[in-house]
Amino acid sequence: MNLRKSNFKRVLFFTILMVLFNSAVYYFFGLQDKAYADAPKISKESVDFLTKTGQAMAEISNAVKPTIVNISTTKTEKIAENPFAPFFDDPFFRRFFGDRFKHPEVPRERKTASLGSGVIVSSNGYILTNSHVIKDAEEIKVLLSDKREFQGKIIGTDPKTDIAVIKVDARNLPIIMWGDSDILKVGEVVLAIGSPFGLDQTVTMGIVSAVGRANVGIADYEDFIQTDAAINPGNSGGALVNARGELVGINTAIFSGTGGYQGIGFAIPSNMAKAVMDSLIKTGKVIRGWLGVSIQPLTPELAKQFNLEKEYGGALVGDVIENSPAEKAGIIRGDVIIEYNGKKVNEPYNLRNTVANTPPGEIAELKVIRIGKIETIKVTIGELPTEVPKAPVIEYKNVLRGVTVRDFTPDLYRQMNISEKIKGVIIAEISPDSPAEGKLMEDDIIQEINRKAVANLKDYESIASEIKPDEIVLLLVFRKGSSVFITISP
């Protein structure tokens, strides 16, 4: 009887326990179901949109990645020797101390390696990259996306744009499609593909932050695309592509205070890169067009002085080189170039880059504003010489030797805040060994030499050339708001 009661109690206990457990489970999951029911819903439209966007990015990446290569280079660098080497090797020192303090042998040269990226532009092995990626390289290794490795050969480099072309001995390679960088808009989605820190086939996404960036200090010819797509060391020479998977830029640099990504990267526009590449492949060098003018921005103050309206923009001609295409066509100092072959000139760098990309011998049509009137001038573009002619520097054999002067311009009058009634030439530089050093200063305005008026550079050269080597010279100089007489002795 007691056994039956004991079994009954056990069964009852476990029954109650199971009931309580089931109730707890039901209560817990009921709360969970309620929490799930109250959670914000993601609409099917949103999921579909993001899924399609992600799918599109994946398709672009998969299409472009095979055309991107990793470039590794090695070069020999000379390093400084131990500055104490002569002391330790001195016989007198070694006589007393022997070799106990002998300095360790320091190699005079060492091998260094660097990494970058490149873009395959032809099926027979031509690869576009940055000039700085392969600078001074003794060996270039190119790693393809399929893990094949080739030796790279330099076809040509152009440090002025930071573009280089190398070639590998391969056939039937995948190639990238070219895009038109001139129609690229701020806000467009772009992908940057390369090998940051040696991590092959890395894809980052961003937008075009700006176009036409110049005066960055990276290259001589600048017209950069700015992007916030993450670009890091090793991305140099990689591709910047648009939503169609077309090459719109060659990644070249970052703006950073730490050496890493900070949201500002620069790429060379594909149109500029292609023009340079074609020239390097055909001739081994870059042949650029040349106009032969010195130009400067047209500021609001200058526009007012020249009676120009704001909307014109343009590049102000400050000087015309003798016997240049510009001089032969009749362009003169003070002209404002507002159009080049139908394309508006907003800034001087626009004109400079456009002229450089014009084949020598081609006739270009310019629109200029001259004394308030728009004129059309046709000019035959020349080839940019290796050394661009400059105004001859006359070295006098008298007390004015080492003094470099230049003519006044309306902009200089404005910058120095002086009246245009003040005539003369302004001192640009004084060499340390000049007799005038310590007597004259930069930005001094020479108004007279030996009581003869100096109105311009031509007057200065005429009078200065007549001064004898041992002659003491009396100058009238305008300095800091007043004119002073200064004598200079041999």
In the chain, what is the straight-line distance between the N-terminal and C-terminal CA atoms, in Å? 139
pLDDT tens digit string along 400-440? 888 888 887 666 776 677 877 788 898 888 888 888 888 89
pLDDT tens digit string along 314-362? 888 877 888 899 999 999 888 889 999 998 888 888 888 889 888 899 9
Among 59-73, 91-105, 110-124, name the most confident range: 59-73
Query: Per-residue pLDDT for 87 more than 60?
Result: no
Q: What's the pLDDT at 405?
A: 87
Question: Which entry of 72, 236, 270, 279 is annotated as an active-site residue?
Answer: 236
Query: Per-residue pLDDT for 251 more than 80?
Result: yes
* Overall pTM > 0.75: no
Alpha helices in 66-156 (DSSP H): 85-88, 91-97
Average pLDDT for the chain: 81
Where exactly does CATH 2.30.42.10 map onto the chain? Answer: 289-383, 403-488
User: Does the active-site annotation cover 103?
Assistant: no
Alpha-carbon distance of 115 to 142, in angstroms, equals 10
Alpha-carbon distance of 439 to 410, in angstroms, equals 27
Class of domain 403-488: mainly beta
Kindly indicate the confidence band of residue 23, based on its pLDDT and cuts at 50, 70 and 90: low
Alpha-carbon distance of 484 to 476, in angstroms, equals 6
Non-local CB neighbours of 327 within 8 Å, separated by 6+ positions: 292, 320, 321
Alpha-carbon distance of 452 to 474, in angstroms, equals 10
Where exactly does CATH 2.40.10.120 map onto the chain? Answer: 67-79+107-285
Q: What's the pLDDT at 92?
A: 45
Q: Using an 8 Å Cβ cutoff, are 207 and 230 in contact?
A: no
Question: Does 14 or 435 have the greater pLDDT score?
Answer: 435
Q: What's the pLDDT at 387?
A: 58
Q: What's the pLDDT at 30?
A: 56
Query: Per-residue pLDDT for 390 more than 80?
Result: no
Q: What's the pLDDT at 82?
A: 52
Rounded to whole angstroms, what are the CA distances from 368 to 15, 383, 433?
Answer: 101, 22, 44
Per-residue tokens: 68: 């991107």
pLDDT tens digit string along 215-238? 676 777 878 899 998 888 888 899
User: Does the active-site annotation cover 236?
Assistant: yes
Q: List strand residue ranges (DSSP E) for 188-292, in order.
A: 189-194, 202-213, 224-227, 239-241, 246-254, 265-269, 289-290
Per-residue tokens: 90: 């001195």
Question: Which entry of 158, 162, 200, 444 is annotated as an active-site residue?
Answer: 162
Alpha-carbon distance of 352 to 359, in angstroms, equals 13
Among 177-191, 241-255, 296-310, 459-473, name the most confident range: 177-191
List 143's β-bridge partners, or say none. Answer: 70, 149
State what percent of residues in the chain have pLDDT above 90: 33
The hierarchical CATH code for the domain 67-79+107-285 is 2.40.10.120
Say which CATH architecture domain 289-383 belongs to: Roll (2.30)
Question: Which entry of 114, 117, 131, 132 is annotated as an active-site residue?
Answer: 132
User: Does the active-site annotation cover 132?
Assistant: yes
Query: Per-residue pLDDT for 168 more than 70?
Result: yes
Kindly indicate the confidence band of residue 77, based on its pLDDT and cuts at 50, 70 and 90: low
The three-state secondary structure class of 142 is strand
In this predicted structure, which of 154-168, 235-249, 297-311 has the lowest mean pLDDT? 297-311
